[in-house]
Amino acid sequence: MADTSYDLIVLGSGPGGYVAAIRATQLGLKTAIVERENLGGICLNWGCIPTKALLRSAEIYHYMQHAKDYGLAAASISADLEAVVKRSRGVAKQLNQGVTHLMKKNKITVHMGEGKLTAPGKLEVKGAKGSETLTAKHIIVATGARARDLPFAPADGKRIWTYRHAMTPPEMPKKLLVIGSGAIGIEFASFYKDMGAEVTVVEMLDRIVPVEDADVSNFLEKALKKQGMTILTGAGVEELKATATGVSAKIKTKDGKVEAGDFSHAIVAIGIVPNTEDIGLDTLGVKTTKGHIDTDPYCRTNVKSLWAIGDVTAPPWLAHKASHEGVIAAEAIAQELGNKDVHPHPMDVRNIPGCTYCHPQIASVGLTEAKAKEAGYEVKVGNFPFIGNGKAIALGEVEGFVKTVFDAKTGELLGAHMVGAEVTEMIQGYTVGKTAELVEEDFMHTVYPHPTISETMHEAVLSAYGRALHI
Amino acid sequence: MPIELKMPALSPTMEEGTLAKWLVKEGDEVKSGDLLAEIETDKATMEFEAVDEGTIAQILVPEGTDNVKVGTVIAVIAGEGEDASTAKAAPAPAAASAPEAKTEPAPAPTPAPASAPAPATAAPAPAASGDRIKASPLAKRIAAERGIDLSTVTGSGPGGRIVKADLEDASAGVAAAAPAAAAAPAATPAPAQPFETDIPHTAEKLSNMRKTIARRLTEAKQTIPHIYLTVDIQLDKLLKLRGELNAALEPQGVKLSVNDLLIKALAKALIQVPKCNVSYAGDQLISYQRADISVAVSVPAGLITPIIVGANEKSVSKISTEMKELAARAKEGKLQPHEYQGGTASISNMGMFGITQFDAVINPPQGMIMAIGAGEKRPWIVDDAVSIATVMSATGSFDHRAIDGADGAQLMQAFKQIVENPLGLVA
């Protein structure tokens, strides 16, 4: 019989869990990981990565349709959704195998099955071959989250979809209703719009992508409307029914009128529910807030030697937050087990960037202008449009801007908000700066390469101090 | 085992001091209670006594060394039966005044049993490594803005780097300490610069006391909006009473000074007008229920303010004997910090120099100081007729942030009334 006692067991192998396991073995801990479905979790099987593959196809399709703008001709362009999806699944499979390899390379024992905490340091795993009991000095809960259903219209996978159905669609939707305009809703709205569907987005709050800066929301709304998308803000879906040919919805609009609408399909993207059921949290008395596990900045729960990371804990619910928490938790555990050379640093959510891969893209880090003012900061705000950037003009991507929010007193970069081409690849520049606590002078003294769109980041800093050069 | 003699903390707030004088030399035998050295803090010179027995094996910090941090090993004592010469070699003869800086990066907080999410606490590791202080650009900005000395801050960032969060803790600590400690360092005087002049002159290094006086007076004048209220007070009755009391107290060897009576009068006035017995402390007002009077005493090196604790409750003869004893020790620089730090209000008397009236500088965090001028014969109008009376001018300086003009005036009135009807002082 195999030895089933470990230094650390990680429950869940998503981007939080598998990274925690790798970091733990780097620090010499005997580590196991428990997964009920796919190694790599939602992110690389059903989330971030396969959607990026889909969006890449949509982007290229978009360019092909606009070939003329670049002096090129492309005749009889068409999209094969099945092939697009097949490519996306291929990408997911490749990465799934990558994680399997990483587990093997790091000598992490993988237990496939449903894990449940039965006592402190004890986990029962029910797998295909029966159940076994594992023990560990420390356990990390990294079970993630799933899509929230509309209470009156649960997803059926045929006409009413969650992100998961939308990723492997049975057919191309002709007329799509997207409920919710967070990152997931807007990405699918953008994807299907580019693929040729007629798209309507319904958002309950008064603006789309409501966690972003208001300037970003307004800019994106205009851009999407220009592409032909219908956007209803301050509106709610009151009724949603699958019919033989599609879905019928009753939408209460901003002015209080209830309008009926028929669509071919609907995507429900109204948020997530943490996966906390049946994993034994009650047995151990783990504290939660709105279902999400409470943790300190080192990912400790209220129960000794039990840790939690990623979507199962407090927001933001992003893969890179989960991965980073995995590293912090693994290091803090190693330290508790006597490793004196490891120095975990607490999580600061203000330094976690967020990216949304709609078209145009959105990326941001830190406080919005409104939130900064709410927090009592006296702010200096900078803004620089892509139209003032040579590279953006050369690329034919002049739609976008960079906004910076500085603390007028200390020069601290409180937040940065970007919309436009490649911004998701650029936000890390500000994130590094924020993490290192650079002030406006440091950004000003940084030489940005020419010609790049990143020069807009430099200009947006200069702009906050009335020194922008190219506008 | 050789015993390491460390720079003692002679008061709770002492962080460093000057090793003014060694009273022993290498090879001397010492026993518990022997005086080893004189140590000068910002205001006083104190004697450092031996606790252990043995032979002074090595003196590591020569006399006259400034800014010796508390805890620095200053000498080594070889224990009984030990060879002083071997003991000598034991401790590494490090530069005596080098601060004990560790370069070890900050460990994370010791993992307490898990409970509700708690904010991370900074770990105890100094960020300073030699002269270079590791701090983020933002931390440097914030420190400069708030006047925080980064060498006193513990860094919790990578490699012990000081980050913004560490300063949030630091500034909170400073704010909490400010109202309590009279010796809390606020502004540090600028470092010495070469002074150029053609005029024949001598240059003398400032004593710690002079530096403290400079710092505290600057702080007081720069941060406290002073208002000044002056009254003329007839002294004849008080002088008469003093004569009678002194005659009566002579067998006990007590001789009251006018100042002793005025200390008592000020204490009584402060209890009568409690709105003036206060400290302005940032976002709160501290009202004292006892009048501890700091009395300005001129000493060769400058000025010091020994305190008559609870002067409102003490008899004038008790105040007098205490004052004589404190003043004598003040002149020798032998006051203990608790004897001159604190107080709820001050009194300063320049009458003996013939000064008729002056405005004194408030001694923070106190709310007021009474400046006493010379008692002199002046024309005095009583019932529209000019007569002669012994009169002195007294000027109260008040912290206008905490004390309104009318309240200050009430205190001056109470003080005048008590001095002019002095029987109350002995009641």
pLDDT per residue as tens digits for the range B362-393: 998 899 999 999 999 999 988 899 999 999 99
Reply yes or no on whether the pLDDT at A315 is more than 60: yes
**Given the DSSP bridges, would you call strands B345-349 and B368-372 parallel, antiparallel or unpaired?**
parallel
Per DSSP bridges, beta strands B284-287 and B278-281 are: antiparallel
Q: Where are the beta strands (DSSP E) in A265-352?
A: 265-268, 272-274, 288-289, 292-293, 306-308
Q: Where is pLDDT greater, at B340 or A401?
A: A401
The average pLDDT across A231-255 equals 95
Same domain, A366 and A443: yes
What's the gap in Å between the CA of A138 and the closest CA on chain B?
12
Cβ within 8 Å of residue B148, ≥6 positions away: B142, B167, B170, B171, B174
The answer on pLDDT for A231 being more than 80 is yes
pLDDT for the residue numbered B119:
40
B62: closest CA of chain A, how far (Å): 38
Local structure of B203: helix, strand or coil:
coil
In the block, residue with structure tokens 């620095």: B72
Say if residue A458 is in the same domain as residue A369: yes
Q: Is A445 a catalytic residue?
A: no
Residues of B contacting chain A (CB within 8 angstroms): 105-108, 111, 113-120, 136-139, 141-142, 145, 156-158, 163-164
The amino acid at A179: I
Higher per-residue confidence, B167 vs A438:
A438
Q: Are A262 and A289 members of one domain? A: no
Q: Flag whether A391 is in a domain.
A: yes
Look at chain A and report how many structural domains it folds into: 3
Report if residue A377 sits inside a domain: yes
CA nearest A404: which of A357, A451, A364, A359?
A: A364
- pLDDT per residue over B303-325, tens digit each? 889 999 999 999 999 999 999 99
Q: What is the DSSP string of B219-237?
A: HHHHH--EEEEEEEEE-HH
Predicted confidence (pLDDT) per residue in B278-308, tens digit: 999 888 899 999 999 999 988 877 888 999 9
Q: Is residue A366 part of a domain?
A: yes
pLDDT higher than 70, residue B104: no
pTM for the whole structure: 0.59
What is the CATH number assigned to the segment(s) B210-426? 3.30.559.10
Q: Which of A336, A351, A370 is the last residue of a domain?
A: A336
Q: What pLDDT does residue B171 have?
A: 52
Statement to judge: residues A189 and A304 lie in one domain: no
8 A C-beta contact, residue B11 and residue B42: no
Residue B252, burial from CB neighbour count under 10 angstroms (0-12, 13-18, 19+): exposed
Contact B105 A343 (CB under 8 A): yes
Contacts of B40 (CB under 8 A, 6+ apart): B17, B18, B19, B20, B46, B207, B208, B333
Residue B174 scores a pLDDT above 50: no
**What residues of B act catalytically?**
400
Same-domain check for residues A266 and A291 = no
Tokens coding A232: 């209803």
Superfamily the domain B128-177 falls into? E3-binding domain (4.10.320.10)
pLDDT, tens digit (0-9, with 9 covering 90-100), for A96-129: 899 999 999 999 999 999 999 999 999 999 998 8
- In a domain, residue A45? The reply is yes
Pairing of strands A198-202, A306-308: unpaired
Q: Is the pLDDT of residue B210 over 60?
A: yes
Mean pLDDT of all residues belonging to chain A: 95
Q: Any idea where the domains of chain B sit in the sequence? A: 3-89, 128-177, 210-426
- What is the percentage of chain A residues whose pLDDT exceeds 70? 100
Average pLDDT over residues A170-198: 95
- Say if domain B3-89 classifies as CATH 3.40.50.300: no
What is the domain range of residue A47? 5-147+274-336
Cα of first residue to Cα of last residue in chain A, in angstroms, is 71
On whether both A138 and A216 belong to a single domain, the answer is: no
Residues A57 and A123 in one domain: yes
- Residue B170 is predicted with a pLDDT of 61
Could you tell me which of A315, A278, A246 has the C-alpha nearest to residue A117?
A: A278
Residue A249 clears pLDDT 90, i.e. is over it? yes
- Please say which residue of A270, A304, A320 terminates a domain: A270
Mean pLDDT calculated for residue range A61-71: 94
Q: How many CA atoms lie within 13 A of B372 on its CB side?
A: 26
Shortest CB distance from A410 goes to which of B107, B117, B145? B145
Arithmetic mean of pLDDT, A433-443? 96
ipTM (interface pTM): 0.80
Nearest CA in chain B to A296: B117
Maximum distance among all alpha carbons in chain B?
88
**B280, B347 in Cβ contact below 8 A?**
no
DSSP string, A152-175: TB---SSSEE-HHHHHS-SS--SE
Average pLDDT across chain B, whole number: 80
Q: Would an 8 Å CB–CB cutoff place A294 in contact with chain B?
A: yes
Map residue A105 onto helix, strand or coil.
helix
Give the DSSP H/E element, type plus range, for residue A450.
Answer: none
Nearest alpha-carbon partner for B269 in B220, B213, B312: B312
Integer-rounded Cα radius of gyration of chain B: 26
